[in-house]
Structure 1
Amino acid sequence: MAKEFTLDDLRRILLEGAGAEEGVDLDGDILDEQFEALGYESLALLETASRIEREYGISLDEDVLADAQTPRALIAAVNAQLSVAA
């Protein structure tokens, strides 16, 4: 069975790929915060998706990325792809 993608995995990948804006606390309760409010624009999210795809061996559709406006939504999308790939 494929590994589950967690909020901690997302935090790590966000920090590795794009860092964090000053004043943004990724360790807080960010599950339902908009990525834009966290300081992550579309390019940073594309980089994040690319890193997720490489690390987890999945493919994330562009529509999925466009719809995943929060960490919770992106985590759910990644886990859905992981369950299909398993």
Structure 2
Amino acid sequence: MAEQAFTLDDLRLILIEAAGADDSYQVGGDILDTDFEQLGYESLALLETGGRIEREYHISLDEEILSIANTPRMLIDAVNNSLAALI
């Protein structure tokens, strides 16, 4: 069975669905370590994002993870760790 990976592209699509996105930010390595607040996403938007990730990927993310993971890279890593635990 192939391992499913959660990517920056996946996160960007979910962020757009959950809270809208500023198209001036291009998907790329330069935003991976940018704080979500600097990208314009507040805690409620991230909670909605977390809920969408859980539903779409059939995982459970601890609410603490959503408050600690303050950059796209940290959230992507947390999601991929949860996905890896399913295998």
TM (norm. structure 2) is: 0.90
Alpha-carbon offset, residue 16 of structure 1: 1.1
Deviation at 1:49, TM superposition (A): 0.2
The answer (yes or no) to whether the contact 1:18–1:44 under 8 Å persists in 2 is yes
Does residue 30 of structure 1 match 2:31? yes
For 1:64, the aligned partner's letter is: I
Question: How does the TM-score come out when normalised to structure 1?
Answer: 0.91
Deviation at 1:27, TM superposition (A): 2.6
- 5+ residue gaps, structure 1, are none
Deviations, residues 19-70 of structure 1 (Å, cap 9, x unaligned): 124x741435210000000000000000000000000000000111111000
1:2: how far off?
A: 4.0
Is 1:60 matched with 2:61? yes
Q: Which consecutive unaligned segments of at least 5 residues does structure 2 have?
A: none
Q: Distance in 1 between matches of 2:24 and 2:19?
A: 13
Q: Which runs of 4+ in 1 moved over 3 A?
A: none
8 Å CA contact 1:11–1:26 kept in 2: the answer is no
Give the aligned residue type for 1:25.
Y
Q: What's the C-alpha RMSD, in Å, of the aligned pairs?
A: 1.4
State the match for 2:83 in structure 1: 82
Q: Provide the identity percentage.
A: 62
